[in-house]
Amino acid sequence: MSNDNESMITQNPWHSLKQFTPARIALGRAGMSLPTRACLDFQLAHALARDAVNIPLDFAGLKQRLNVLGYQSLTLQTQAKTQPIYLQRPDLGRLLSASAIACLQHATPIPFDAVVVIADGLSSTAIEHHAEPFLRLLLPELQHKGYRLPPVCLVKHGRVAIGDAIAEHYAASLCIVLIGERPGLSSPDSMGIYFTYQARSGISTDAERNCISNIHENGLSYRQALKKLLFLIDEAEKLQLSGVNLKDQTTDTEPNDRLKQSNFLLK
């Protein structure tokens, strides 16, 4: 990648501060403006984030990958028919299409314990990168606990609450939704997990959900996310609820770097 010609730009002699923050500091300047490299860096990050939102998820490929692992899946649509409608009408992304409802009704009517739903959400790359590897860890754990699971539901143009209708259909008390999160410039492929106990369509609110967010390469690992989710499931079964009254008490081990915890401006 091209570098700026040093003589054209004014560097900032405080590069060392970059160790403390992922923020775009000490960028230097061309005149008073962003140097070419910093400017294109930003455009690159934005392009990745935009593509994460707009490039459709390869549902057939995902179904195939799950198949290889020995897991059945159903592909369902919401009432948001196109991407622009999906972005402007969150309400429609929470409702199953007529064909999706028919598809579910076709499936076996016996009751299940837990549903696993995968929705593209706002980042198809998040699901592309993280859904299948995470399910590799999660599904054996759920089976080990003796939960009866229907096919994994893959939902196109889905919002978080789409899981409610699916859980309700299967009369399952545990609803686990994996969804692509709103992409940031530094994390275009961040996946979130929303867990709802006794989810009911049109009734469950965000206050009744627990969220495990920021699952990506530089964020929460699959193992950490799994640990949190399994904790929430166990506690929800005990308390018979999820959401604001169910607190995640697992600890995040963060290195306690002395230099980072103190403030160099106040030494």
Partner 1 sequence: MYKIKINHQVYDFKTLRNLMAKASPARSGDYLAGLGAADNLERVAAQWALADVPLKQFLNEALVPYEQDEITRLIVDGHDLAAFAAISHLTVGDFRNWLLSKHAATETLTAIAPGLTPEMVAAVSKIMRIQDLILVAKKCRVITRFRNTIGLENRLSTRLQPNHPTDNPAGVAASLLDGLLYGCGDAVIGINPASDNLEATLRLLHMLDDVIKRYRIPTQSCVLTHVTTTLKAIERGAPVDLVFQSIAGTQKANDSFGINLNLLNEAHLAALELGRGSLLENGTLGDNCMYFETGQGSALSANAHQGLDQQTCEARAYAVARKFKPFLVNTVVGFIGPEYLYDGKQIIRAGLEDHFCGKLLGLPMGCDVCYTNHAEADQDDMDMLLTQLAVAGGTFIMGVPGADDVMLNYQSTSFHDALYLRQVLRLRPAPEFEQWLQQHGIFNADNQLQQQPDVPVLFKSSLQNLSE
27 binds partner 1 (CB under 8 A): yes
251 binds partner 1 (CB under 8 A): no
The piece of 97-105, 133-141, 164-172, 183-191 that touches partner 1 (CB under 8 A) is: 183-191
How many chain residues bind partner 1 (CB under 8 A)?
Answer: 53
The helix-helix angle for 124-144 and 59-68 (nearest 10°) equals 30
CB of 49 to partner 1, least distance (A): 4
82 binds partner 1 (CB under 8 A): no
90 binds partner 1 (CB under 8 A): yes
- Whether 152 and 73 have beta carbons less than 8 Å apart is answered as yes
64 binds partner 1 (CB under 8 A): no
Of positions 44, 61, 69, 91, contacts partner 1 by CB under 8 A? 91
The piece of 46-54, 58-66, 148-156, 191-199 that touches partner 1 (CB under 8 A) is: 46-54
| Binding characters for partner 1, 106-145, by CB under 8 A (x = yes) | ----------------x-----------------------
50 binds partner 1 (CB under 8 A): yes
CB of 26 to partner 1, least distance (A): 6
Is the CB of 47 or the CB of 69 nearer to partner 1? Answer: 47
- Whether 96 and 79 have beta carbons less than 8 Å apart is answered as yes
Using CA atoms, how far apart are residues 34 and 42, in angstroms rounded to an integer?
A: 10
Residue ranges in contact with partner 1 by CB under 8 A: 10-14, 16-18, 20-27, 29, 31-34, 38, 42-43, 45-46, 49-50, 52-53, 87-91, 122, 182-188, 254, 259-267
